[in-house]
Amino acid sequence: MLTFSHDVFALLLCSQVSVWRYPQQIKRATNYSTEAQLLFHSQGSSVLKPSRVASTNRLLSIRPVSWHASRLCHGDSAGTSDRGNTKEGFSLRALSQAPKPALYLGFSGLIPFLSAPLLMAATQSFYPEVAYAQVVYGASIVSFLGGARWGFAIPPGSPAQPDWMNLGNSVVPSLLAWLALVCRDNIAEGALVVIMGLGLSLHYDLTLLPGYPAWFKAMRTVLTLVATFSLVATLTIKNFCTEKKIKDIQK
């Protein structure tokens, strides 16, 4: 009987010890989780604070950069306009900005170019005198384009400096015009030389020797194309129509 009671007492004591240890483990686990949360929050706050400061510094550092970049872009465009539109492109819409005297005189200069092939097409005859007059007029225009570049580079403050590039290339159209006048006995060769001079002058004004305003480039392009097509029309009439002389018609 004493042995049985002793065993029961030992069993109850063990159960009480285990029951007493279980709440202690729960309390310790709770304390551990609480300490971990406090440590996480303390570390998180220390980690988050520098990131917020860094993001704020980034925002503050971006604003001045974008402001300076915009100012540099505006300054570059302003500098380009102050230099006389040296890199300005052209479009046909720029013709609306052209001065009316330059626009009217420029397009009226196409009358001698267009009248020659229209006259020969109306009579269905090729007149060498009329064709040569067209070539002479084209040669004078080519020489005028070279002289215009010379006059554009001479004034002080001009975007085109009076250097070898500007002044030397402005002499080449005049030489081509003289060569076209030498070809009196061969109208086709004279017309081809004039076409070459017109195309070379346009290449100078648009790409090689910048400085002209956009409206002048647009007008030069249109005038050069029309003059070139008129000379090509004269050469076409020469190949397909009979040749006649004005002296024979008057007799």
- DSSP code of residue 125: E
Q: Give me the residue label for tokens 């720029």.
A: 94
The confidence score (pLDDT) of residue 251 equals 57
Question: Both tokens of residue 149?
Answer: 């570049």
How long, in residues, is the chain?
A: 251
pLDDT band of residue 177 (cuts 50, 70, 90) is: very high
Give domain limits for the chain.
Answer: 1-83, 93-250
The confidence score (pLDDT) of residue 184 equals 87
pTM of the model: 0.64
pLDDT tens figures, 21-77: 444 444 444 454 444 444 444 444 444 344 444 444 444 444 443 333 333 333 333
Mean pLDDT of 232-243: 94
Q: What percent of the chain has pLDDT over 90?
A: 44
* Spatial separation of the C-alpha atoms in residues 75 and 52, rounded to whole Å: 35
According to the CATH classification, is domain 93-250 in 1.20.140?
yes
Q: Which of 57-71, 102-116, 165-179 has the lowest mean pLDDT?
A: 57-71
The confidence score (pLDDT) of residue 46 equals 44
The confidence score (pLDDT) of residue 81 equals 39
Mean pLDDT of 145-151: 91
Residue 113 has pLDDT above 60, yes or no: yes
Residue 17 has pLDDT above 90, yes or no: no
Q: Give me the residue label for tokens 């397909």.
A: 240
Residue 232 has pLDDT above 60, yes or no: yes
Please give the full DSSP string across 167-217, using - where no structure is assigned. Answer: HHHHHHHHHHHHHHHH--S-HHHHHHHHHHHHHHHHHIIIIIS--S-HHHH
The confidence score (pLDDT) of residue 249 equals 65
The confidence score (pLDDT) of residue 182 equals 93
pLDDT tens figures, 88-101: 555 778 888 999 99
Report whether 211 contacts 159 (CB < 8 A).
yes
Q: Which of 64-78, 168-182, 192-206, 237-251 has the lowest mean pLDDT?
A: 64-78
Phi and psi at residue 200, to the nearest 5°: -70, -40
